[in-house]
Structure 1
Amino acid sequence: MAAVVAVLKMPPWSFLTREDLASCGEVNRDMTGEVPGDGTACLAAAETSGTGAELKVTDYTVEGDPIFTYYRVVPERSGMEVFIDSRDGYGKKGWTHLSCPQAHAVPDVGTCEEA
């Protein structure tokens, strides 16, 4: 019987060495595409207070493959930092690191660029 091994890309160094921030928890995006209010309120409070925080949001493709998105409000930086770990078997697989300087809400982060 042959074993199937999924090869996942390692997280980028910028993710592995990211600043520790308070956790806003881990949530699943609902069927409407909305992120539950507790997580977004936590990030907004962290931005207002200047303390910083991270929220992990899990989405699933139509086929059921997970996509993990880490939204981060970092002290003394404008907007958000976003890491995406896609395990999409039919699309882009791997890690993406974005800087979203105008972001003030999840999931509408505005214009982002590769970090």
Structure 2
Amino acid sequence: MLAIRRALVGLIAIGVVAAAVLAFVTFREEPSAASDSASPRSAVIANSMASAGAPASFRNRPTFRSCGEVVLAQGVRIPQARIRCLAAAPAEGRELVIASPTTEGDPIVRYYRTGPDLDGVEIVEDATRDRFGGGWHRSLCRSGRIDQTGACA
């Protein structure tokens, strides 16, 4: 009887550990190297923000509440919590800054903005460090939503 009880307790312990591991794998936030207001700004984002070559409309943009600055590794998606922040109060004005590498590893910085004078999500892209692209680009995602790849949803 004692052996059966010990075996049962062991099986329950294994089940609890397995459930905890499964919950961690299922609900964890995707890995990214994040740099937000609580930590130093990444050099690629700092250089982009200070770029003398940025369009005047970008340099003179209104200041909105920050949803953070995130530096993504190759193939890593934008954390869902950051996308929710951007969508939370579009009339208030929000900005999310994402730095991610091209296939070749060149950094691209994208500024996703929602605000009272914007009809959707404004996307301003700094591709000046992309060897095969380049320049600054602006687009508007009229749906007002982006997905975890940063594309209009």
What TM-score results when the alignment is normalised by the length of structure 1?
Answer: 0.75
Distance 1:16 1:32, change over 3 A: same
Bigger RCO (CA 8 Å, 6+ sep): 1
Q: Which residues of structure 1 form unaligned runs of 5+?
A: 1-7, 111-115
What pairs up with 1:1-115 in 2 under 5 angstroms? 10-47=53-90, 50-86=91-127, 87-89=129-131, 91-106=132-147, 107-109=150-152
More strand by share: 1
Q: How many residues align?
A: 100
Displaced runs of 4+ in structure 1, greater than 6 A? none
Cα distance in 1, alignment partners of residues 60 and 104 from structure 2 = 32
RMSD, matched Cα:
2.0
The alignment partner of 1:93 has SS state of: coil
Question: Which structure would you say has the larger Rg?
Answer: 2
More helix by share: 2
The alignment partner of 1:23 has SS state of: strand
**Higher mean C-alpha displacement, 68-77 vs 98-107:** 98-107
